[in-house]
Amino acid sequence: MKRLFLLVSFFVLSKTFGQTWTTEEQYIQQFAKYAVEEMEKYKIPASITLAQGLLETGGGQSRLAREGNNHFGIKCKAEWTGRSMKHTDDAPNECFRVYDSPRDSYEDHSKFLAFRKHYQNLFKLDPKDYKAWAHGLKRAGYATNPRYAYILISKIEKHKLYEFDNIAAKEVKYTLQKLYPNVDYKEEAIAEATPKTNTPPKKEINPFNSSPIAASQPSIKKEKTADRDLLATISVKNHPNGDRKYIIIPEDTTLDFISEKFGLRKARLIKYNELGTDLLRKNDIIFLESKAGSGNIKTYKSKGETMHQIAQKFAIKLKKLYRKNDMEYGSQPKYGQIIKLK
């Protein structure tokens, strides 16, 4: 009887003061917040991101994850200029990206999907339909394993990762407590969604060049110090004119910051948005890919905007907009003027 009492006591104490975790459960607890924040910015289901991380890292145990902070097995590719490491995957000694932190890996994974043409059809899917996303990733060539989609779906359903598709980043702790009610984990065990960063030194910037668009924009005497935490929350949106990706600037900043954040060359951003300045103002619309040659509606009644502002509002190339309206490049519409968009 005494031995039975000791066994029962040990069992109760172990359930009360300890928890047996699987590697995958530990991974979910630590990185769920990153996945949800990336979902808020790029509309990629958090369940898909977490399932890919679990699979690619073996629950955080892979060499790429431990030595290179690479959680998604992303290879160098021609455009990569950061650090790298050699690792045998599909072939011996392949080049893989190395990141400063797991968070950088999570954001690069989002960019990898968001800014490559062969993944564009994914963003037409319902962001809560993890099954469609899993099969879409396989069709787009993300992995060579013929069962890749089914493996992702299995992990999502096993760990109920779909719970993270319906929450905000601030609700991650509550969701983890709901999934693992017997675990009294510490707040610091959860990955911080937005780490603090030092404000970079200000740069001397020539505010405008001589283009007609620059001349039409308001003068800015000096750059405001950007609120880095606010800028870190920028989310990528899809414009109704062809689902083109764009962002809305939440705080005055520079094109250099946007270029670095989204991994796009500054020259491309200038071309996509027909910019004549490096300075971006609060509420500016900035496209992350080329705009359309025509609008998705026929006309628009001007409310005092410049032609550039109208072009950005409707995702139309500026020169095309001028031609449609037989206007001289650089001239501006009158208040109430009907602007042809198609």
Q: Do residue 223 and residue 132 come from a single domain?
A: no
Taking the C-alpha atoms of residue 69 and residue 87, their distance in angstroms, rounded to an integer, is: 13
- Tell whether 175 and 209 lie within a shared domain: no
DSSP 214-279: HHHSPP-SSPPPP-HHHHTT---EE-TTTT-EEEE-SS-EEHHHHHHHHT--HHHHHHHHT-S-SE
Three-state DSSP state, 112: helix
Last residue in a domain, options 162, 189, 216: 189
Pair 48, 38: CB distance under 8 Å: no
Residue 204 per-residue DSSP state = -
The Cα–Cα gap between 229 and 215 comes to 31
* Domain-terminating residue out of 124, 157, 189: 189
Q: Which of 141, 162, 189 is the last residue of a domain?
A: 189
Q: Which residue has the higher pLDDT, 295 or 189?
A: 295
Q: Is residue 5 over pLDDT 80?
A: no
- Which has the minimum average pLDDT: 118-122, 133-137, 259-263? 259-263
How many folded domains does the chain comprise?
Answer: 2
Alpha-carbon distance values, 302 to 163, 200, 296, 336, 339 (Å) = 44, 39, 16, 5, 7
pLDDT at 153: 94
Per-state percent for the chain, helix, strand, coil, to nearest 5:
45, 10, 45
> Is the pLDDT assigned to residue 301 strictly greater than 60?
yes
pLDDT at 22: 59
- Residues 317-342 have a mean pLDDT of 89
Q: Quote the percentage of the chain above a pLDDT of 70.
A: 79
- Indicate if 174 and 267 belong to the same structural domain: no
The pLDDT of 65-84, averaged and rounded, is 90
Examine the domain organization and report whether 241 and 294 are in the same domain: yes
DSSP state of 7: H
| Domain containing residue 240 | 199-342
Instruction: Give me the helices (H) in 278-317, please.
Output: 307-313
Q: What is the pLDDT of residue 3?
A: 41
CA gap 287, 17 in Å, rounded: 52
CA angle 64, 66, 72 (to 5 degrees): 40
Same domain (yes/no): 101, 184 = yes
Residues whose CB falls within 8 Å of the CB of residue 304, separated by 6 or more in sequence, listed in order: 335
Same domain? For 161 and 230 the reply is no
pLDDT of residue 11: 39
Q: How far apart are CA 24 and CA 65, in angstroms?
A: 14
Cα–Cα nearest to 226, from 193, 206, 197: 197
Q: Are residues 76 and 181 in the same domain?
A: yes
Tell me whether residue 14 is in a domain: no
Instruction: State the burial class of residue 50 (Cβ atoms within 10 Å of its Cβ: 0-12, 13-18, 19+).
Output: buried
pLDDT in tens, 20-31: 445 889 899 999
184 pLDDT band, cuts 50/70/90, is low
Which residues face 238 on adjacent strands?
A: 245
Q: Is the pLDDT of residue 266 over 90?
A: no
Give the pLDDT mean for 126-143: 92
- CA torsion 128-134-140-144 (nearest 10°) is 160
Tokens (6 digits) for 216: 């039409």
Q: Does residue 230 sit within a domain?
A: yes
Q: What does the alpha-carbon distance between residue 226 and residue 265 come to, in Å, rounded to a whole number?
A: 20
